[in-house]
């Protein structure tokens, strides 16, 4: 057998399994979203809708390539812990925490499942992350208030404001 024929044969044989299998469907991602509020709370419903719309804008379509399961604690920390234990048993790809109390409950249940938080004022001060630029561990997320800006707000509101005296001419 000639060398070129042998190499060509190996090349085509190597591609057979890929051709036989075809394109594999995208793996379904599993997200568990633990809410601190009740399921029927209007704020919870707005957050769920905004979350779904943002994911869809990024190409994550529920029941196509992502499965989202919501759990609601209605402010009950014992229920948050129970849902967190369930979360660990379900082994989702990521957990979404909607408040500081929810993060505490999930963090007590796992150090392996990635946790993404929102609606947390000071994650560094509360000990959830090491720093905003490099959170470390399995917890990361979004803050809606930057502590240095709060200091600026206080500074602005505590200084006396000068009133501008406007003079109007009568016609």
CATH (residue range 29-146): 3.40.50.2300
Percent of the chain beyond pLDDT 90?
Answer: 46
For the stretch 38-70, pLDDT in tens is 999 999 999 999 999 999 999 999 999 999 999
Beta strands in 98-148 (DSSP E): 115-120, 139-143
Measured from the Cβ of residue 68, the count of other Cβ atoms closer than 10 Å reads: 18
Q: Where are the domains of the chain?
A: 29-146
Give the number of residues written for the chain.
Answer: 171
For the stretch 83-134, pLDDT in tens is 999 988 999 999 999 889 999 999 999 999 999 998 788 888 888 888 888 8
Q: In this predicted model, which residue has the larger pLDDT, 31 or 153?
A: 31
pLDDT at 29: 93
pLDDT at 56: 93
Helix axes 77-90, 100-109, angle to 10 degrees: 50
C-alpha 14/C-alpha 8 separation (Å) is: 10
Which segment, 28-32, 125-129, 135-139, is predicted with the most confidence on average? Answer: 28-32
Helix extents (H) in the chain = 3-21, 42-57, 77-90, 100-109, 147-158
101 contact partners, CB below 8 Å, separation of at least 6: 36, 73, 77, 80
C-alpha 87/C-alpha 83 separation (Å) is: 6
Classified as helix, coil or strand, 70 is strand
């Amino acid at each position: 057998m000639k060398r070129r024929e042998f190499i060509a044969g190996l090349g085509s044989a190597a591609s057979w399994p890929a051709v036989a299998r075809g394109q594999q469907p995208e793996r379904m991602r599993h997200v568990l979203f633990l809410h601190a509020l009740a399921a029927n709370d209007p704020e919870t419903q707005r957050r769920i809708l905004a979350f779904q719309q943002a994911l869809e804008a990024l190409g994550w379509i529920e029941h196509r390539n992502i499965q989202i399961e919501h759990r609601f604690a209605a402010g009950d920390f014992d229920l948050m812990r129970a849902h967190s234990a369930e979360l660990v048993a379900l082994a989702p790809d990521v957990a979404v925490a909607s408040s500081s109390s929810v993060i505490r409950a999930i963090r007590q249940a796992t150090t392996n499942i990635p946790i993404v938080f929102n609606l947390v004022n000071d994650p560094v001060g509360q000990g959830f992350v090491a720093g905003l630029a490099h959170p470390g561990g399995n917890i990361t997320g979004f803050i809606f208030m930057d502590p240095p800006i709060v200091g600026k707000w206080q500074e602005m509101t505590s200084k006396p404001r000068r009133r501008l005296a406007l003079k109007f001419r009568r016609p």
